[in-house]
Structure 1
Amino acid sequence: MDKTESIRQNPPSPPGSPASSLLPDTRNLGVWLRIMLGVNALTMVAALIKAHHLMDWPWVFIQFAAFVEPLLLTALPILATGRDALRRLPPRAAQGAVLLGVMMLTVMLFDFWRFFGMTEARADELARASLLAAAGTGVMLLYFELRARAFPKAVAEARLQALNARIRPHFLFNSLNAVLGTIRRDPKRAETALEELADLIRVLMRDARELTPLSDEIALTRQYLDLEKLRLGERLQVEWHIADVPGETRVPPLMLQPLVENAVYHGVEPLADPGPVRIAFSRDDDAIVIAIVNDATPQAAHSSGNRMALANVRERLSLHFDLEARLDAGFETGRYVVRIRLPVTVPH
């Protein structure tokens, strides 16, 4: 399995292609939503400037929207289709190509409408419309560029919050105690446990701006559960159900382990009897669904530690995948379920 870490919000660009840091991912639903909201907001402002009276503004906006919406709904699929080609260009060249493409598309739409007698726009009006379309596109490109430059800082801040929430002294203390208790009766197992603990701490301290293969996240969680098995023994019962999911798909690091740790902490530790933890993966079209199921009381489910862990994982999913990923948690048929849905993102 390729262990190369890859992407932030978008799949990786070919080497030497910095355009990916400036251009939005036009295959992302959240990006489409932001572009449509932003362009329509700019259209409202333009209509307000154009209208002679406030009462005329709705009619002027409708006239502008009749031109803007077809242009927008034509440009977005074209940009999504040509996204890989644009990402091979230098950043400013890619932005220039987008601006030029929008202006050309504006001219083509005017010609289409003129051919069917839907407009009688003069050449100066066509030029003005093309420049306005380019200006609106430039504003949106600037917005996404500023957002892309701010993204690593936002991830770093979320990472610090995740570290503060997830490096639990009780976990490290209990894991070391479990290892110490194993040294005399099984030295080789104790040595393996120390190596697993070192790997876990190394991942905890790793940079979180890059996504990691799902297979690595599963392996890390298995290592964590091996450590907990030393401490909890037969009380910890883990069921893994991994269906047809690609192990190379990229996920935020430490997405799974903190949630499984929560399941152990709230669903196994307080119980005298064995506590089952079920971790299931399934494929749903172009998405992966992960479900973590455990026994827990409502008080444990609403504890501050549990809420903080869920909030941190939810925030990192949002930072990396925008609206295409979600995390839900709650009780289903008497058991506590955390369910993650995220897109399949495989590097090319």
Structure 2
Amino acid sequence: MTNISCTPPVPQSHSPVRVPLRHFLRRFLRRASRRAAVLCSAAGLLLGGHGAAQAAEGQLRIAQQFGVVYLLLNVAQDQKLIEKHGKAAGVDIKVDFVKLSGGAVINDALLAGNIDIAGAGVAPLFTLWDRTRGRQNVKGVASLGNFPYYLVSNNPAVKTIADLTDKDRIALPAVGVSVQSRILQLASAQRWGEQAFNRLDRLQVALPHPDAAAAIIKGGTEITTHFASPPFQDQELAANPAAHIVLKSYDVLGGPASATVLYTTEKFRNESPKTYRALLDALDEAARLAATQPELAADIYLRTAGGNTDRQLLLQVLKNPEVQFQIRPQNTLGLGQFMHRVGALKHQPVALKDYFFDDPRIAGGN
């Protein structure tokens, strides 16, 4: 596994003095530049000297981000399910996992040929599907399940998004690109009208979830709000008495939704059909394990993802009735159509088949 962590040390100060955002971000950007150099080196190792454009059956490089929303990949990695299903199809598959942060970074890596499968929010998928139509033809492979995302604030004055002011900063993986950013735009459109969909963009700051969670838990920075994902949102609510939920993604999207997905290029799917099929088979098996054996799934996540997540808190996340492990996408089309209405997409998605590759296990999604 190639694990490029974007997590800086958790701040140790317990002082109530607020740290100016520019200082916090300056430190973060210095660390980010160092990590970028590491990423370039790691990407070269992944390519193994064969060139970014050269795809091959049996090679699989998967980029994922932070959080339990990537549990199906953690299970597949730990149990070597992709390799197992590859062998059943007569191919030895070498699997590499790269950990990145932010849909924009993931999309760039996919287009550069440095990864084969991108793991990110459904909004970055829509962005790349729209941009590559008629060229690389990027489409979705599978959902990683339905998870509620919470907008968490440690500012007692922020009860709804209407209470956010210029004194607040909203941390999320990527400004204007990540699924959290797009859901926040949809929430803004629902509250103030679609002409004001980007009203809160100016308050957004791009930070990996672990960094944002540290800011919410410790306090002392201008980052008062975090559009998170599990388990980070759950850690914030458990660790900081002032942390509270301002917004739930399911409320904005109208029900359970597949916020995190995998996607790839048409070239990879066509040139590596056995590897592609083994990935789907592995994800399907991983979803069944996560749904029926949450204790085992929790242990797998703790082994593979690292960090200091409390096991009991993690089990609460996995057993949450709002969390549904499945690879069939659910309730994704509406966000894509909203993005088209506000000009973020040139092409309007009409049905799932427009932006997901065909597969019997995907059919019937929306």
Q: Name the TM-score class by shorter chain.
A: under 0.3
Of Structure 1 and Structure 2, the greater helix share is in: 1
For normalisation by structure 1, the TM-score amounts to 0.27
User: Relative contact order, CA 8 A, sep 6+: which one is greater?
Assistant: 2
Larger Rg: 1
